[in-house]
Amino acid sequence: MKYEPLDNIGVFIHAVDLEITSYVNNQLAPFRLTSEQNLIMALLWEREGMTQNEMATKLNKDKAGVTRMLSTLEKKGYIRREICSSDRRSVEVYLTEDGRKLGNDVIPINKTIIQLIHKGMTNEEIEELRRLLLKVQENVDQS
């Protein structure tokens, strides 16, 4: 097999990720949200009161990165953090009224983005792509 460093699946996945991220950031710019912050908000629109640790785990992000994103969202007035009453070491995250209202505008955009990404693919193809990407992720995780 000939070695061509730029002709591999990792480079292609990275290029696709950059394109998707750029597109999402452009769609969310009017709402002062980045694609990363949108992931946090999407979790909260589904279920408020998650801990920072739960969010980090669900998003496969480091805790420090999630904490930074939460600080930014808090400064924007979209979320608030509270010490967990049952475990004072944990911090739970809740939407503010502005954060809830933001969902009315952003959730439809998120749905449109998902439709765009899935366009032209069957449910079976989407599941196969997910399965293959998980295999790539496992390969890297095992190294």
> Which pLDDT tens digit goes with each residue over 51-92?
999 999 999 999 999 999 999 999 999 999 999 877 778 889
Q: What is the residue-averaged pLDDT of the chain?
A: 94
Residue 86: what pLDDT? 79
Q: What is the reported pTM?
A: 0.87
Q: Tell the burial category of 41 from Cβ atoms under 10 Å away from its Cβ (0-12, 13-18, 19+).
A: buried
The domains of the chain, with CATH numbers, are 9-141 (1.10.10.10)
Mean per-residue pLDDT, 2-26: 91
Percentage with pLDDT > 90 across the chain: 86
